[in-house]
Homo-oligomer: A and B are copies of this chain.
């Protein structure tokens, strides 16, 4: 179990109510959430600006990663311990599935870069929608 409060304390940041609520929303979700979706899932209507600020803070801490699905906005998900996902979005029915591949290490070796973040998302038509 990751102790987010400790992570934030060590970074000299406060563990505030809005931050806690955003974490909970992300933990409960079973897919990456947009800012608006987080907004809707958080009780007591936290301000949108605070959610944006919270997410940026989490991105810097490495708690959260960005999932760009080409929808015109970003989605975010908890990084969790080690393992992470990539997604296929069906552009017909909106279904989102995760794929279990990642090239991180391969790319670090190929490029000689220290990779900080990456995205690898696919858009297509799922088996059912293809007919």
Contact = CB atoms under 8 A, between A and B. Distances in A.
B116 A107 contact: no
A127 B113 contact: yes
A125 B119 contact: no
Best-surrounded residue of A100, A124, A127 (most CB of chain B within 10 A): A124
A114 B131 CA distance: 11
Nearest to A117: B123
A16 interface: no
A66 B116 CA distance: 21
A128 to B, nearest CB: 10
Nearest to A127: B112
B115 A110 contact: no
A120 interface: yes
Nearest to A100: B110
A72 to B, nearest CB: 10
Interface of A: 66, 68, 70, 88, 90-91, 97, 99-101, 103, 106-108, 110-127, 130
